[in-house]
Amino acid sequence: MSLDFGDDISSVTGRICLRAAAALRSASLPGVIDITPSFNSVALQYTPQAKSKPDSACAFDELSETVRAVLKEGLPELDDHSRVVDIPVCYGGQYGPDLDEVCARTGLTSEQVVKQHTGNLGMVFMLGFAPGLPYIGVHDAVFAIPRRDTPRTAVPAGSVAIANRQTTIYPNLLPGGWHIIGATPLQMFDVNQTPPSRLMPGDQVKFISITPEQYEHLKQHPRPIA
């Protein structure tokens, strides 16, 4: 079941989705096994249960009714649930091979790109594509640059990359078409930790500029996910 809350990518729509997902999660609906928020919708994956009421047509109708009732109760405030997570990033050079191209496309200097990127909090709209891979936004319109024409077949783990006013962080070696502006020394996903993902939907992200020395230091002294 998919609940649609708008047709744009904006923090307003994104927040509503995240609040709806939080409300539905705490309602522990019978048969619902996964609740996946995204930019403008919330998906509920469920196993159809036997009808509890003889007059409802099917499991979908019954679940729809329950979902409506939950959402009518009102949505929890996101701020009560969201955390601010610091993500240290070493920008440019070997860590961010596309920083120069981003400068060329945006008309900003590399200092200005870093200042813009670290200046405001971003929100985690969703995780997808690969375990622990976040979609963080919405950034200033200056970062409204499309993805690379030719995606890379292998982007290193920890790469911090931007496109379409969003940032992503590659949790492991993956193909990718976003512009890599830096790298974080933090491990983003680890199945042996609880929770396995450093970032959760709804988290506020603060990017912090670090030096290559700090990057290497953090790399050697890993910070646990939780």
Partner 1 sequence: MSLRVLKPGMLSTFQDLGRTGFQHLGVPTAGAMDRRAHQLANLLVGNDMSAATLEMTLTGATIEFDVPCCIAITGANLNPCINDQPAPMNRPLVMRAGDRLSFGSRSFGARTYLAVHGGYTLAPVLASNSTYLRSGIGGFNGRALKKDDQIDLNIPLTNSTLDDLAQDLWNIRIYLPAAITISPRERVRIIKSNQWPDFTPESCAAMLTEAFRISPDSERMGYRLTGPKLSLTQPRQMISEATTFGTIQVPADGQPIVLMADTQTTGGYPKIAYVATVDLPRLAQMAPGDYLKFEAVTLFEAQRRDLARQQAFETLAQTLTPINNLLATHASVTE
Q: Which residues bind partner 1 (CB under 8 A)?
A: 2, 7-9, 21, 33-41, 43, 45, 47-48, 50, 57-60, 126-133, 135, 172, 189, 191, 195-197, 200-201
Nearer to partner 1, 71 or 129 (CB): 129
Least separation in angstroms between CB 70 and partner 1: 17
Nearer to partner 1, 118 or 172 (CB): 172
- Rounded to a whole number of angstroms, the minimum distance from the CB of residue 112 to partner 1 is 29
Residue 195 or 222: which CB sits closer to partner 1? 195
For residue 165, the minimal CB distance to partner 1 (Å) is 13
Q: Kind of pairing, strands 84-91 and 204-209?
A: parallel
Residue whose C-alpha is closest to residue 212's, from 118, 114, 86, 88? 88
User: Which of 119, 146 has the CB closer to partner 1?
Assistant: 146
| DSSP letter assigned to residue 161 | E
Backbone angle region of 132, left / alpha / beta, with phi > 0 → left and psi within -120 to 50 → alpha: left
* Minimum CB–partner distance for residue 119 and partner 1 (Å): 25
DSSP 80-91: GT--EEEEEEEE
Q: Which is nearer to partner 1, 113 or 169 (CB)?
A: 169
DSSP labels, 130-159: STT-EEEEPPPGGG--PPPSS-EEEE-TTE
Whole-number minimum distance, CB 63 to partner 1, in Å?
Answer: 10
Beta carbon of residue 162, minimum distance to partner 1 (angstroms, whole number): 16
CB of 211 closer than 8 Å to CB of 91: no
How many angstroms separate the CA atoms of 47 and 124, rounded? 28
- Count the neighbouring beta carbons within 10 Å of the beta carbon of residue 77: 11
CB of 52 or CB of 109, closer to partner 1: 52
